[in-house]
Amino acid sequence: MAIPLLGRLNLLEWPLVIISFLFAYIEFIISIITKCLPNSIIHLFTNLLNQFYTFFILSPNDQEILAIPKTKEYIDMLKLRNQIKNCESILDIGAIFGYEIDDHIVETRDGYLLCLHRIKPKQQGAPIVYLHHGLLMCSDIWCTNIEKHKNLPFLLHDLGFDVFIGNNRGNKYSTKHIRLKPNDIKFWDFSIDEFAIYDIPDSINYILNYTNQKSLTYIGFSQGSAQAFAALSINPLLNKQIKLFIALSPAMTPRGLHHKVVDALIKTSPNIMYLIFGKKTLLPTASFWESIIYPPLFVKIIDLSNEILFNWKSKNINFNQKISSYSHLYSPTSVKSIVHWFQIIRNSNFQMFDEDLSITNTFSKPFKTPNFPSRTNIKVPIRLLYGTIDSLVDIDEMLKLLPTDDIKAIGIDEHEHLDLIWGDDIEELVYPHILKFLDIKNQIVGDLENEKVSSF
């Protein structure tokens, strides 16, 4: 009899499974040992990694960066970069740039306590823009650009908007529940379904009730757009509450992963993730490793991982920006939400979570998992901005899943997934489109030019 979840693996896939198991458990053991070590040993380890990187990994491009003349402006930029990198919360990042950011707590209908952030508008009754992050991320990702007005929330606030920034259940800002604890398996029993059924509509209901307004503009990045597509497809009221939906690097039905073996494995057995990582959170020690690894080496690891998995070359994000942003790249989520994505990739359907597959992992099933009815039920104007070389965006397939009444898709040439929030040229290639969608007058944008000169 075939072993559940593993019975369909071939001989070429078994070594990868074994290596994945070893990696996960060795990483767990090492992290426990390291947490028990005194700080002096940790610092010694970090210094050794520093030396190792300098002598063995430093590339010609890195050497060119190190050879840049250390002018006062450059030194100030490095200081700001390191300040952003070391910030523990989005409130601290806002303070660096002179913005006061407030916390708001939303209780979802199933008991999770989500933390929203708000930058108070200059005037009462200002139009609302709500921003939502992607997979394995949190609200921080919107504010880690070194140049002030490359941070979309700050730009929108200065243009007169009431800016709210959301967080999913389970990430670093939303680890509370009225009954469950984060060490309970049930706490992590959620997927994109719960983001769509509870997190997005409950957050937006809170915002509109708090501000006494009827509607807002939604801007989602990556999974933040998929969650909104899913939520709009099953919630008629939400279609009245969102007046415009702007999706950056939108994800609905990714083609798969770039690495052929990994791609074949997750398409064959999406639930292999449960066997490797359990049923709670994915990579719980990732933040710990980021804190002790020499930052340039950490950047190399992230770049290499992105290239292996997604074929992203990361050429449009400069080195110093990576130092600043990659330190805020990871935030916890459930293993189940990753499994959900792998089911979507496997079936090439923007579908709800397949509970039956999680138990039997068989092809002969007693029922069909329903797709999110995005094409028929979404009534909101949609604007899509995507990178033309982003391996996670299949724009032609996406357009087939969305309504045709009021939709516009704009491709940013030679750009990848993360480039649309952290790229060097987002002010020239991405933000003008967003401001046009929001119907911002050009003269208002021009008023900000003097501030941009002194944004370091």
| Contact status, residue 313 vs residue 307, Cβ threshold 8 Å | yes
pLDDT at 56 over 60: no
- How far apart, in Å, are the Cα atoms of 404 and each of 212, 214, 221, 235, 374? 31, 25, 21, 19, 11
The helix/strand/coil state of 215 is coil
Q: Among this protein's residues, is 417 annotated catalytic?
A: yes
> Distance between alpha carbon 26 and the CA centroid of its chain, in Å?
26
Q: Give the single-character DSSP code of 380.
A: S
**Locus of tokens 């491709």:** 411
**Band (92; pLDDT cuts 50, 70, 90):** very high
CB atoms under 10 Å from CB of 447, counted, come to: 11
Among 89, 174, 203, 222, which one carries the catalytic annotation? Answer: 222
Tokens of 149: 């007005």
How do residues 258-276 score in pLDDT, each as one tens digit? Answer: 878 778 777 777 777 887 7
Residues 6+ apart with CB under 8 A from 173: 89, 114, 115, 138, 139, 167, 331
Question: Which of 132, 133, 340, 417 is labelled catalytic?
Answer: 417
Active-site position among 158, 193, 354, 390: 390
| Share of residues in the chain with pLDDT > 90 (%) | 64
Evaluate if residue 163 carries a pLDDT over 90.
yes
Q: Which of 434, 207, 422, 171 is nearest to 319 (CA)?
A: 422
The reported pLDDT for the residue numbered 20 is 59
Residue 36 above 80 pLDDT?
A: no
In a domain? residue 447: yes
156 within a domain of the structure (yes/no)? yes
**Contact between 122 and 181 (Cβ < 8 Å):** no
Confidence label for 283 from pLDDT (cuts 50, 70 and 90):
confident
Asked whether residue 205 is domain-assigned, the answer is: yes
Residue 260 confidence (pLDDT): 80
Is 415 one of the annotated active-site residues of the chain?
A: no
Confirm whether 139 is domain-assigned: yes
Do 131 and 163 meet the contact criterion of CB atoms below 8 Å apart? yes
- For the segment 325-349, the average pLDDT, to the nearest whole number, is 94
Residue 3: inside a domain, yes or no? no
Transcribe 150-192 into DSSP letters.
Answer: GSHHHHHHHTT-EEEE---TTSTT--EESS--TTSGGGG---H
The pLDDT mean for the chain works out to 85
Q: Write the CATH number for 444.
A: 3.40.50.1820
Reported as a single tens digit per residue, the pLDDT across 434-456 is 999 998 754 344 444 444 433 43
* Total number of domains constituting the chain: 1
Q: Is residue 2 part of a domain?
A: no
**Is 86 part of any domain?**
yes
Kindly write down the DSSP assignment for every residue of 243-284, as one continuous string: EEEEEES--SS----SSHHHHHHHHH-TTHHHHHH-SSBS-T
In a domain, 5, yes or no: no
Q: Return the number of other C-beta atoms located less than 10 Å from residue 60's C-beta.
A: 7
Domain with 327, as residue range(s), is: 14-453
**Residues 143 and 154 sit within 8 Å (Cβ to Cβ):** yes
The percent of residues in the chain predicted with pLDDT above 70, rounded, is 79
By the 8 A CB rule, do 87 and 93 touch?
yes
The whole-number pLDDT of residue 196 equals 98
